[in-house]
Structure 1
Amino acid sequence: MANYEALEDKLRDASETKILILDSGKLQFFYEHQEVLKQDEIFEGYDLVLIPGWVQEEYGHHPGKTEYVASIPIDILVLEESEDYPALIGYDEKRLMELFKFSAPHGEAQKFFNLLNKRDFLDWDDWIIQFYDEGFPIKETGAGRTTKKNAGEVSILTLCFLLLSHFPTQIHNIAIATGDFGLVKIRNNIEKNANEPKLNLGITLPARISFLSKDVTMFQAIKRGSLQVEGIPSLRPNDSSSIYLELFDDGTNAYRDHVLETTTFVEMCRNHQRYIMIY
């Protein structure tokens, strides 16, 4: 096992552990804007950073990002999907396959699992490796490189629910540092099915999984005073999906879930006491 034993050592007797799981897109954002978004402020609220093996695969060729990750000022562990994930579910391959299926609702992945179900996959070595080889669309990234679209996000969601199941009393919350809005809907669907017979994860609901999105990161920096509102447009050049609560003077609030214009987001940051950013 790659780092399961190290994770077990850290969490076995822990309580209230705050975990951040990093995806490659959000790492790109942190790396590009590290002069404005300081590492010690981004990571100060967490006890541990976890990186799935496939996310490391996506950034590992880039020396600058690799150095950035190495300089994160708290403990970091990389967890390998084929080596560490099975241990987190007691080597119950059937339930692990079901969790991967929920985390990867796109067509290529579902086709792979449909074919896998027709075989006696319990006797099929390295099915997780086969899944990452065959279950994702290929995306060209330039410079002769290709990536597996959605692979890192699938790894992250699967890992979140494995952690909450395996360490039911040791974790305070898990935040996903991501810019992929699609994870919200998938997370919600897994949560809805988490304790049903197919998954039987036995986790406390609602699941303690949140999102450190770009908007949440900037909003926090504005509240700390480490980012000025004038700097937001360069970090957020395009309108993007956001989820937030608008707070009213009578103590009520309104839930908002829509594409948020950057100009509106800037005004929200000027009056940050009136809002709670969720994504």
Structure 2
Amino acid sequence: MYKMVSENFKELDSFITNRHDLRICILDNNNVQFCTQHEKYFPVDKIYGYYDLILVPGWVYAEIAQSEHRLQYISSLPRPLLYLDEATDYLPLVDYHDLKLMKVFANATSPGSKPHRYLKKQIQEAESGRVDIDDEWIGNYYENGFDSKEEGMIKKSAGETSILALAFLLVHHYGNKIKQVSISTSDFAVVEIKKKIMDYSSKHNLLNVPTINPISFLSTDVLLARAFRMGMIGETELIYLRKSTHRKRVICIIRNNDDTVVPVDTVMETGDFLQLLKGNEPYDIIF
């Protein structure tokens, strides 16, 4: 197999290997859209200046590129921004082991979904030895395994799969050089799928990813809580902005004085969310 390495991957590899304790953010279109619409509350330097490197997978870029405003927003990011092509830039992160990457992609999708079924069949055929893995299998997977939308320009759930796969591949390949990988998304499916990847990886020794890993989520509720805490928005703005997201489910923990915590995963109306942020009890919004 010809091991093609893109210039973007070379730049990524050089950036990470020459540094330590990197804080990386992977963008999803839905959060870019939210921040673009409300840029006066979420200026790029305040939201993304914390990170050392910003990454955008190819199929996420395809969604972002549907809007010139979104493109302008990410072009003004205050940190290095790299676009990674799933077909060329993911395989080097597993040392060109196609079957391993197939399994990562398969577990980065919802069980029983079209892309999951598509790859499950490919994996079975490859493991049986009946069929050789095609050099173009990644491109074929995205083209044929996902349903199209927007006249075929973008693929439903493809970005979600690309983001989750990339997060785990980075931790697997670069290990403790990475301090944090924050996935900037508000798609709740990623929470359960992350657990699925971790469970499969641990059981089958798929990836070198520790149980306590640095992958976290920068959801809109996390953004709102941060902006409220920093004084970037007040109560009126928070109520308006959270209403615009149509989100109600919250995952968080509330800390007690005896170092115990109260885990919360529930539908939370904005009034209750605001009271949580204003209360005296320490809290952490997970998603």
**Deviations 1:150-188 (Å, cap 9, x if unpaired)?**
110100000011100110121001000001011111101
Residue 272 to residue 189, structure 1, CA distance change in 2 (3 Å): farther
- Comparing 147-156 with 109-118, which one deviates more in the overlay? 109-118
**Deviations 1:115-140 (Å, cap 9, x if unpaired)?**
3233655441211111111112334x
Partner of 1:210: 216
TM, length-normalised to structure 1: 0.92
Confirm or deny: 8 A CA contact 1:20 1:46 kept in the other structure: yes
**Deviations 1:54-77 (Å, cap 9, x if unpaired)?**
100111132111111110000111
Shift of 1:272: 6.6
Residue 228 to residue 203, structure 1, CA distance change in 2 (3 Å): same
Secondary structure in structure 2 of the residue aligned to 1:69:
helix
Pick from 216, 221, 229 the counterpart of residue 223 of structure 1: 229
Instruction: For 2:94 and 2:30, locate their aligned partners in 1 and report how far apart those are by CA, in whole Å.
Output: 27
Residue 148 to residue 88, structure 1, CA distance change in 2 (3 Å): same
- Comparing 55-64 with 80-89, which one deviates more in the overlay? 55-64
TM, length-normalised to structure 2: 0.90
Instruction: For 1:240 and 1:193, locate their aligned partners in 2 and report how far apart those are by CA, in whole Å.
Output: 29
Instruction: For 2:49 and 2:120, locate their aligned partners in 1 and report how far apart those are by CA, in whole Å.
Output: 43
Shift of 1:13: 2.3
- Give the partner amino acid of 1:134: N
**Deviations 1:211-269 (Å, cap 9, x if unpaired)?**
00100111011111111121112211134211111223444320000121111112222
Instruction: For 1:13 and 1:146, locate their aligned partners in 2 and report how far apart those are by CA, in whole Å.
Output: 36
Confirm or deny: 8 A CA contact 1:51 1:79 kept in the other structure: yes
Partner of 1:241: 249
Pick from 163, 169, 176 the counterpart of residue 169 of structure 1: 176
Partner of 1:133: 143
Structure 1, unaligned runs of 5 or more: none
> Superposition pairs for residues 143-182 of structure 1, below 5 Å?
147-182=154-189
Structure with greater helix share of residues = 2
Partner of 2:26: 21
Pick from 102, 106, 110 the counterpart of residue 107 of structure 2: 102
Structure 2, unaligned runs of 5 or more: none
- Give the partner amino acid of 2:252: Y
**Percent sequence identity over aligned pairs:** 31
Partner of 1:258: 266
- Comparing 151-160 with 244-253, which one deviates more in the overlay? 244-253
